[in-house]
Structure 1
Amino acid sequence: MNDTPTLDEQRNQLVDEIVAGRPLPVAVEQAMRTVPRDQFLPGLDPSKAYTDEAVSIKENPGGPLPLSLASVPSIVAMMLAQLDAQPGDRLLEIGAGTGFNAALLAEIVGEDGQVTTMDIDSDVALHARTMLNKTGYEHVTVIERDGLKGVAENAPYDRMIATVGLWDIPSAWWEQLADGGQLVLPFRWRGQTRSVALTRHGETFVSDGMELCGFVPIIGQDGERTAELADGTIRVHYDQDQSVDRDLLTDVFSTSLVELWSEARVGGQEPFDGIWLRATVSDNTVCRLEVTKEALDAGVRRPAIPVRSPALVVGGSVAYLILQREDADPERPWRLGAAGYGPAGSDLARKLVAHIDAWSADREAVPTMTIYTAGAARDGLVEGHVIAKDETVIVLG
């Protein structure tokens, strides 16, 4: 007797797990239960298609990240919920991937809708086209093109979704999304990536929500910088408008360590990434710190998450998020604090602890993001913290 679940049963089990953690709109849940992810991943053990994990579909010989991924199914579902596509909508997807997401979109918008998906990589676009044809979604349009240019010939779109990380919003997208339309994109600022849902209101975008995510960055945007320290075993990732001088930081981790602790505690599965998000609403010194195993073995204080922790950088000093286990509170045993290095390390650590405390007082609060074109008059912006990018200006409040 064979007790192994069928692929249909495995697909439904995965969706059951996703829905248990985050209720989904009916249309999104139905699409996730309908489209066979395994058929978009030929060569992979079909059962592995129904684990909540990303799958590389094209490696990148020139860098650490793949050129293309089949995204984590729960993240796919979350972003589709943010997009809130409706039957009959005209959609543009930037980043075709395996074609699976485009098939989900086609299910949601139905026969009266239109889905266009695009990718800059010819192999990825061909794979998406082949898999969509194989699974009965021939009506989805697949275009090989630079995603930053969009697809003007099928515009205007009611909704647009990006499945690659964006540091800025290209001007072409403004022109191709209808007024009142929805844009969902993995947006990058101050070292973090959030799936931001935005609604276009004339010449502005206003956020409807933000969720933590991680995506391969789009080709063609270079607003992020990296300062390599300690023979490349420590890296500070920052935006081009920030004042980070690698030369001033060369010996910072050879200075004395200062540790300061907040009163905030978290449980083992309790997220604390909101500290990072909330800090960017008022603080221009926020960056991302990446500490490798080699640096940890050399004695550098372990960040809360070695590969990506929020850090404050000023001149030759740095402070970053740390944690330690304290068994006094079994439900929330991890206490949050800050490690500081350099001459202003103590001041920066105190500043970071203040950010932790502000987050802890209202852990569910999410800032609003308003985005303008780069040419917008500064006296016409909403009140808030301004971050300038190449093609846009964002205001957090």
Structure 2
Amino acid sequence: MTEPTTARPADQAVLVLEDGTRYEGRAYGARGRTLGEAVFATGMTGYQETLTDPSYAGQIVLMTAPHIGNTGMNDEDTESARIWVAGYIVRDPSRVVSNFRAKRSLDDDLESAGVVGIAGIDTRAVTRHIRSAGAMRAGIFSGADASLTAGEQLELVLGGAAMAGQNLSGTVSTTEPYTLPATGDRVGSVAVLDLGVKTSTLNFLAERGFDVHVLPQTASIEDVRALAPDALFFSNGPGDPSASDRHVELLRASLRDGLPYFGICFGNQLLGRALGFSTYKLPFGHRGINQPVLDVATGRVEITAHNHGFAVDAPIGEVSESAQGFGRVEVSHYDLNDNVVEGLNCLDIPAFSVQYHPESAAGPHDANYLFDRFRDLVIASKENGK
């Protein structure tokens, strides 16, 4: 049952979008002010994975599912060491926590992490507005900042940075390299460029028999070569791929070295750029765990988890020639909702990528086989090199 919208002054909060649209509700999580890009996520579960996904850095995330928080927060389902969202929007936060693994409430973790949120607003109306007008800069104001005038709040929102053109990899990446040993039958080693990598990604790679060498986003081609890895992996991450020229050059050098490559999400966009394609910003992006994607090779439709606001501009249904001299390339997957490119496959070099998240911990797991495909690619590449 929705609680009354009348709030005590100390609990008032307001969501302000850059076009001047305002939604009044009540404070949730930490009190204060936060700025970021307002986006919506359509998953009915998995809010803990969403909150701790580094790809959401700089974004105020609205959950379209109306009731959030009933399973609380635990210590097993986090995708990184902290909550990354810039702000959080829910309609009806759960008043109780009911799960045997719960250690804390969602509200407790938001408050301790300093994440400013808002509850009690019509999230369906906000979602429809963003779908119509596009993702945009926004701010949540509560506590003392709720007393600012509407004009002052809007001025602060308009002074915030737009997501286009931002390189956020340095914000979320590890600062020091580290290694996870293989937990399955060892097949080799993989260098992982951490652009905002999720814990489950590293675990899945280790389970496929890889010693996983995680490198900070500042790594150079010399750093990669010093490891003598059997393969290279670029992770998911936040920001605009057009602002990551250094990572593109690192990838091109690795592809010329003949390293097998697998990229997820941001790693897909960077492969597209390395091959010579451009990228562009989607109107409101894909975020959630229910996106239908067609695997062109098999005709199989996968229900997949997404979190991206940018996409690769590549032709669907034809084989292209890489403008950077890497041979033939095809779009391997595309979204059935809007025909957005969701995967690339190189036909003349050992490299492929997908835009969605096959490591999705909250589900679905339709695309988990891609880690097996990567393992097979590395094994075949090693055999062909002998």
TM-score by length of 2: 0.28
Structure with max Cα Rg: 1
Relative contact order, higher structure (CA 8 A, sep 6+): 2
